[in-house]
Chain A
Amino acid sequence: MLVVTTAIVCAAGVSAHRTDEYLQAARLAIDSGTVQIALDLTPGIALAEAIIADIDRNRDGSLSPDEQRAYGGLVMSALTLEIDGTPVRAQLGVTDVPGAEAMRRGEGTIRIQSTATLTRLSIGPHQLLFRNRHHPDRSVYLANALVPDSDKVAVTAQRRDVDQRELIIDYVLRAAPAAPAGAWLWGSIAGAMVLSVLRIRRSRSVT
Chain B
Amino acid sequence: MRSPMPLASTLGLGLFVTVAAAGLAQRGATSQTPAPGAPSDATARIVGAAQSVLTALDEAGRAKVQFPFEGPQKTRWSNLPSPMFQREGLRLGDLTPAQRTAVTTLLSTALSRDGYRKAVDIMRGDEALRKTQTAGRAGAPAGGRGGGVRFGEDEYFLAFLGTPSVTAPWMLQFGGHHLAINLTMAGSQASMAPSLPAAQPASYTFEGRTVRPLGQENDKAFALINALNDAQRKQAILGYRVSDLVLGPTQDGRTIQPEGIPASALLAPQQTMLLDLVKEWTGIMTDAFAEPRLAEIRTNLPQTYFAWSGPTTNGSAAYFRIQGPALVIEYAPQGSVDHIHTIYRDPTNDYGAKFTRK
Contacts and interface: CB of A to CB of B under 8 A. Distances in A.
Interface of A: 4, 7-8, 10-12, 14-18, 21, 23, 25, 27, 40, 45, 105-107, 109, 140-142, 144-147, 155, 158-164, 188-193, 195-196
A147 B143 CA distance: 41
Contact of B256 (A18, A140, A147, A192): A147
B246 A196 contact: no
12 contacts: A7-B147, A7-B148, A11-B142, A15-B149, A18-B244, A27-B254, A140-B243, A144-B246, A147-B257, A158-B259, A159-B239, A195-B5
B116 interface: no
Given A109-B250, A146-B257, A17 B80 contact: yes
B241 A164 contact: yes
Contacts of B22: none
A160 B246 contact: no
Given A14-B133, A17-B80, A105-B84, 10 more contacts: A10-B140, A11-B141, A15-B129, A16-B334, A18-B334, A146-B256, A146-B257, A158-B257, A164-B241, A192-B9
Contacts, number: 125
A140 B335 CA distance: 11
Nearest to A193: B12
Contact of B246 (A25, A107, A190): A25
Name the residue in A11, A16, A195 with the highest tally of chain B Cβ atoms < 10 Å from its Cβ.
A11
Contacts of B256: 27, 144-147
Contacts of A146: 254-257
Contacts of A105: 83-84
The residue among A4, A27, A40, A142 with the most chain B CB atoms within 10 A of its own CB is A142
Contacts of B143: 11
Name the residue among B78, B147, B257 with the largest chain A CB count within 10 angstroms.
Answer: B257
Given A8-B148, A11-B141, A193-B9, A163 B257 contact: no
A161 B256 CA distance: 18
A10 B141 CA distance: 10
Given A16-B339, A105-B84, A190 B259 contact: no
Given A14-B137, A146-B256, A193-B12, A160 B148 contact: no
A96 to B, nearest CB: 12
Given A107-B84, A144-B246, A192-B8, A16 B147 contact: no
Given A106-B80, A155-B257, A15 B151 contact: yes
Contacts of A25: 244, 246
B315 to A, nearest CB: 18
Contacts of A109: 250
Given A144-B257, A146-B254, A162 B241 contact: yes
A142 B141 contact: no
Contacts of B240: 160-164
Main secondary structure of the interface of B (DSSP, over half): loop
Interface string B73-84: 000001011011
A193 B254 CA distance: 41
B147 A160 contact: no
Interface in B130-183: 132-133, 136-137, 140-143, 147-149, 151, 177
Contacts of A145: 256-257
B142 A10 contact: yes
Nearest to A154: B257
B15 interface: yes
Give the most central of B16, B136, B241: most A CB within 10 Å. Answer: B241
B11 A7 contact: no
Given A16-B334, A193-B9, A196-B12, A23 B243 contact: yes
Given A11-B133, A144-B246, A17 B254 contact: no
A11 B243 contact: no
Nearest to B240: A160
A192 to B, nearest CB: 4
B184 interface: no
Contacts of B336: 16
Q: Which residue, B9, B83, B143, B255, has most C-beta atoms of chain A within 10 A?
A: B9
B191 interface: no
B241 to A, nearest CB: 6
Interface in B101-129: 129
Contacts of B85: 107
A122 to B, nearest CB: 22
Nearest to A4: B147
B242 interface: yes
Contacts of B338: 16
B200 interface: yes
A188 B8 contact: yes
B127 to A, nearest CB: 13
A23 B346 CA distance: 24
Contacts of B335: 16, 18
